[in-house]
Copies of this chain bind each other. A is one copy, B any other.
Amino acid sequence: MAKKTLNVGIVGYGFMGRTHANAFRKVTNFFDLPATPVLKAACGRDEAKLKAYCDRWGWESAETDWRKLIDRKDIDVIDICTPNDSHAEIAIAAARAGKMVMCEKPLAMNGPQGEEMVRVIEETKVPNMVWYNYRRVPAVTFAKQLIDEGRLGRIFHYRAKFLQDWTISADLPQGGAGLWRLDAGAAGSGVTGDLLAHCIDTALWLNGTIGSVSAMTETFIKQRTHTATGTVQEVKIDDACAFLARFDNGSLATFESTRYARGHKALYTLEINGENASIAWDLHDLHRLQFFDYKDQGSLRGWRSIHITDGDHPYMSKWWVPGLQIGYEHTFVHQVADFFEGAANGKSVAPTFRDALETQYVCDAVLDSAKNGRWQDVKHAI
Contacts and interface: CB of A to CB of B under 8 A. Distances in A.
B327 A313 contact: no
A325 to B, nearest CB: 4
A41 B261 CA distance: 50
Contacts of A324: 266, 283, 327-328
A255 B281 CA distance: 20
A248 interface: no
Interface in A194-252: 214-216, 218, 220, 240, 242-244, 246, 250, 252
A317 to B, nearest CB: 12
B299 A142 contact: yes
A187 B260 CA distance: 38
B256 A278 contact: no
A286 interface: yes
A68 interface: no
Interface centre among A307, A309, A322, A374 (most CB of B within 10 A): A307
A180 interface: no
A323 B244 contact: no
A26 interface: yes
A34 to B, nearest CB: 16
Contacts of A20: none
- 8 closest cross-chain pairs (CB), A and B: A266-B323, A265-B323, A263-B292, A302-B304, A302-B306, A324-B328, A156-B260, A327-B327
Nearest to A55: B28
Given A304-B304, A323-B284, A374-B373, A216 B157 contact: no
Nearest to A292: B263
A277 interface: yes
B323 A283 contact: yes
A289 B165 CA distance: 20
Contacts of A261: 156-157, 273, 278
Interface in A283-302: 283-289, 291-294, 296, 298-302
